[in-house]
Amino acid sequence: MASDANLLIDYVREFSQNYYFKYKSITPVENLVRYISDVKQLKTQYGSSRPYGAGFLFAGWDRFFGYQIYSTEPSGVYSAWKAHAIGQNYQNAQSTLKQYYSDQTNLNEGLKLSVKVLRKTLDKNKMTGDNSKFNKFYINNNIIYLPYFMNFYYYFIFIILFLLIFLLS
Q: What is the pTM of this model?
A: 0.74
Tens-digit pLDDT string for the chain (169 aa): 578 888 998 999 999 999 999 999 888 999 999 999 999 999 888 777 888 888 898 888 888 888 888 999 999 999 999 888 888 788 888 898 889 988 888 777 877 787 788 778 876 556 666 656 655 555 555 555 555 544 444 545 555 555 555 555 5
* 108 closest CA partner among 152, 148, 143, 157: 143
Number of other CB atoms surrounding residue 80 within 10 Å: 14
What does the angle CA 17 – CA 60 – CA 88 come to, to the nearest 5 degrees?
110
pLDDT of 125-135, one tens digit each? 566 666 566 55
Which letter, b or e, does each residue of 20-38 get, where b requires 16 or more Cβ atoms within 10 Å of its Cβ?
Answer: eeeeeeebbbbebbebbbe
Kindly list the structural domains of the chain, giving each domain's residue range(s) and its CATH number in brackets, ordered by start. Answer: 2-81 (3.60.20.10), 90-168 (no CATH)
